[in-house]
Chain A
Amino acid sequence: MPYLPADLPRILPGRDDAPWWDALRRHELVIQQCSACGTWRHPPVPVCAACHATASRWERVSGRGRVFSYTVVHHAVHPSLAGRVPYNVVLVELPDAANVRLVSNLVDVPPDEVKVGLELEVVFEDLEDVVLPRFRRARTS
């Protein structure tokens, strides 16, 4: 069972970010990187804010991460979340991609054990029409 209900609303990928979602279908976590200057950026955008190049590549990262901040949500604001609270939402920094954070969830950490600084690794959750990158405690160093 996925960490959160599969019927939460979603915004369909557009021209600027389809490759990120396509990579997830292959169980690859990629981050957009400027082809000219190497600056990482996420979520995907069409121009590098550092050098204004429009060319970019989608670099596969290790999937390692670290909790930068978190919340535990107790109040369900969507009908499908009724009975699924509390759940956590975490901001994950990626050691492989400077200044990039992902919004995600920890699938194996109880609400009172979520902490800033926890070391993580990505897991891929296959839903019917999308793959979501979620995280668990790091098992490898």
Chain B
Amino acid sequence: MRDRVCVAGIGETEYRSWGGITDRSEFRLACEAILAACADAGLSPRELDGFASYANDRNDAPRLAAALGCPELRFSGMVWDGGGGGVCAAVAHAAHAIHAGAASHVAVVRSLCQGEYGRFGRVGGRTPARQTPRAGIPPAFAYSLPFGLLSPAAMCALIARRHMHEFGTTHRQMGHVAVAARSHANRNPRAVMRDRTLTLDEHATARIIADPFRLHDCCLETDGACALILVSADRARDLRRRPVHVLAAAEGGEGAWGASLYTHSAPAPAYPSSNAAPVARRLWAMAGCGPGDVDVAQLYENFTGMVLMALEDFGFCARGEGGPFVEDGKLRWPDGSLPLNTAGGNLSEAYVHGLNLVVEGVRQMRGESTCQVTDAEVCLVGGGPGVAPTSALLLRRG
């Protein structure tokens, strides 16, 4: 599949803090993002014959195909579980379907209207008081909810604290991830946090959410949607935008990871990690390159500490060295050697469950980012860390 499939279009709605979009439904936002992506690509929505998403997105393929007047639905892909870990896998499934000839024009979409449907950060809070494990809630929740392990912040805090214990990682090191993202968002007119600056000291003294994570270690919660249109490399040549190649894609993780975000049962050596090491190995093998070939990266930041582990797992530094690796400012555009999350990411642009990170990766490969890395040719996108499946993409300038 290497280089045989392209991103031909990207589309976004506006991004607002959760509850900030009150005049349209989550489904309408999904449709608007897809329509925008089709317009960007220069193709009719009626040409779409497939849809892919992840994290149990509510806007299912049959409903989208009907709403958009697609003559035939040939592919519908949904990544099992893993929340934002599945973001790059959804793109990969679309690419595989195209490469296999199962579909020709596939939209990847994620839409969140948390004012309409409830906040992610209240995941335990909206769980009914007593229910059976068959009601769409992970059975593993039985072993975390009664002990007050309700939020993704607290779950990832347990992983981060273990990383601090084993490797001496500090909260200040995590701050470099947040501050870089915010400085990038300050240049991005679409970013929810475009007008708010952030310093390392402000990061260090903000209110505690779940120790070691303070406010700015945690992703935003956002209303908004974005979408990408994938087509074959041959088809992409006929469309209006410069194509961006899917150089490589991989998904999964450690076999024993399971629902470790709830159970924390991942085997000891891998426990304080992003679970992306197995994904990274296959990603680099498929692409025929390595971390040294990456010009710019978009790594999913549910929480800052997890990004340090993802940098290790993708091979930018050795295990346990994610903290020291970021201290010299290398994540920060324009002078850093590895500009990270150049639109502001989940921390400061918007939390569209990471699909906005893929969109920003495409912009970088087109040369259209508000923090454009000069002559960038390869962008790594890493999906949600600490879960299974997690996933990753390498995008290449066309």
Contacts and interface: CB of A to CB of B under 8 A. Distances in A.
Contact of A10 (B130, B207, B263, B264): B130
A102 to B, nearest CB: 8
Contacts of B142: 10-13, 17, 43
A14 B267 CA distance: 25
Interface in B185-213: 207-212
A87 B151 CA distance: 13
A91 B162 CA distance: 10
Contact of B154 (A9, A16, A79, A89): A89
B79 to A, nearest CB: 22
Contact of B159 (A12, A69, A134): A69
Q: A interface, how many residues as a size bin?
A: 35 or more
A101 B260 CA distance: 11
Contact of B268 (A89, A99, A104): A99
Interface in B110-151: 121-125, 127-134, 137, 139-151
Contacts of A86: 208
A89 B132 contact: no
A132 B146 contact: yes
Given A11-B145, A14-B139, A103-B264, A77 B161 contact: no
B157 interface: yes
Nearest to A7: B129
Contacts of B134: 14
A123 interface: no
Given A9-B124, A103-B263, A116-B161, A71 B132 contact: no
Given A13-B142, A43-B140, A104 B127 contact: no
A14 B148 contact: no
A75 B122 CA distance: 11
Contacts of B145: 8-11
A132 B123 CA distance: 21
Nearest to A114: B211
Interface in B142-194: 142-151, 153-154, 157-159, 161-162, 165
Task: With a 10 A CB-CB cut-off, give which of B121, B137, B141, B263 has the most chain A CB atoms.
Answer: B263
Q: B interface, how many residues as a size bin?
A: 35 or more
B67 interface: no
A51 interface: no
A83 B153 CA distance: 19
Interface string A98-118: 011111110000010000100
Contacts of B147: 4, 89, 103-105, 132, 134
A101 B265 contact: yes
Given A12-B130, A17-B142, A89-B147, A78 B124 contact: yes
A68 interface: yes
Contact of B133 (A12, A87, A100, A101): A12
Given A69-B162, A89-B148, A43 B129 contact: no
A130 B146 CA distance: 10
A91 B264 contact: yes
A81 interface: yes
Contacts of A134: 147
B210 A11 contact: no
Contacts of A89: 147-149, 154, 158
Contacts of B157: 71, 73
Nearest to A87: B148
Contact of A70 (B128, B129, B153, B161): B161
A101 B264 contact: yes
B256 interface: yes
Contact of A77 (B137, B144, B150): B150
A116 B165 contact: yes
A52 interface: no
A17 B209 CA distance: 32
Nearest to A42: B265
A71 B268 contact: no
B125 A99 contact: no
A72 interface: yes
Contacts of B158: 69-71, 89, 91
A11 B141 contact: yes
A43 B143 contact: yes
24 contacts: A8-B124, A8-B150, A9-B127, A9-B128, A10-B129, A11-B142, A14-B134, A43-B139, A68-B162, A69-B158, A72-B211, A74-B211, A75-B207, A75-B208, A75-B209, A77-B151, A78-B122, A81-B148, A89-B147, A89-B149, A103-B143, A103-B147, A104-B147, A111-B211
B204 to A, nearest CB: 15
Contacts of A73: 148, 151, 154, 157, 209-211
B264 A11 contact: no
B256 A78 contact: no
Contacts of B128: 9
